[in-house]
Structure 1
Amino acid sequence: MAVKHLVLFQFKANTGADAVKEATSRMLGLKEGCLNPTSRKQYIKSLTGGKDNSIEGAQRGITHAFVVEFESIEDRNYYVNSDPHHSEFKNYVIPFLENFVIVDYSEGVF
């Protein structure tokens, strides 16, 4: 069953535009860089993202959103727990973040 992995970022106020651009580019680059340890092929089905443009005012500081789609829970679990490329990205980005939210779901499963 496919899994969608929502990632929401709030960057620290003192994070410059170049650092935000680099962090978001690296986030989007995870699709190409995360490889299955056995097949050595990309296992992220899709990865999209962008800067908030909501007019509702309910963002609570969140400025950037990403949707990562995995074919299976096993792929998501590898990504979260073991993928060295993802781990390297987390180590890079966390110092720039004031807050982040991650929510995973499978469509139609409530």
Structure 2
Amino acid sequence: MEVAQKLGITADTSTTHIVAYYIEDATIRSEIIEKVKSLKDRALKDGQPYILESRAGEALPFQEGRDGGFNIVTATSFKNVEDRLYYSSFDPAHEELKNLAAMHLKKGLILDFAL
């Protein structure tokens, strides 16, 4: 069964990938934020950029105690489900980011939604 169909969306539905991190080291947080922000230009599929938007920043404590303790939030948007799956499974730039985060991650949360 096609992934999009399993998810109840069409194959050409755009998706956004949200990740919240808790990373203690401020230097590593800054490095992760910069790597995520540059994904739109660095991540390639078939030699071409494919990420629509990639944003990241320090979490703001507007709701003290209700932020789950996360201190970085990222949002990466894709034209379709296929691009999102490529990103999570095959993209070397994303793999580099995952490896860095995994070495320092105290906890994380991943959510995806369709637009």
Q: TM bucket by the smaller chain? A: 0.7 to 0.9
Higher RCO by CA contacts (8 Å cutoff, separation 6 or greater)? 1
Q: Quick one: percent identity of the two aligned structures? A: 25
Match of 1:80 in 2: 88
How far apart, in 2, do the equivalents of 1:95 and 1:6 lie?
19
Q: Indicate the SS of the match to 2:49.
A: coil
Q: Decide whether the 8 Å contact of 2:29 with 2:72 is kept in 1.
A: no
Pair 1:65 & 2:77 matched: no
Unaligned runs of 5+ in 2: 1-12
Q: Which of 25, 29, 32 in structure 1 is aligned with 2:38?
A: 29
How far apart, in 1, do the equivalents of 2:57 and 2:99 lie?
21
Match of 1:4 in 2: 16
> Displaced runs of 4+ in structure 1, greater than 4 A?
none
> What is the root-mean-square deviation of aligned Cα atoms in Å?
1.2
Match of 1:98 in 2: 106
Unaligned runs of 5+ in 1: none
TM-score of the two chains, using structure 2 as the length reference: 0.82
The letter of the residue matching 2:28 is A
Q: CA deviation at 1:19?
A: 2.2
Alpha-carbon deviations, 1:56-94, whole Å to 9, x = none?
121111011111100000000000011112112211221
Match of 1:55 in 2: 62
Q: Indicate the SS of the match to 1:59.
A: coil
May I ask how many residue pairs the two structures share in their alignment? 102
Match of 2:27 in 1: 18
TM-score of the two chains, using structure 1 as the length reference: 0.85
* Aligned positions of 1:31-46 closer than 5 A: 31-36=40-45, 38=46, 40-46=47-53
The letter of the residue matching 2:54 is L
Q: Decide whether the 8 Å contact of 2:43 with 2:49 is kept in 1.
A: yes
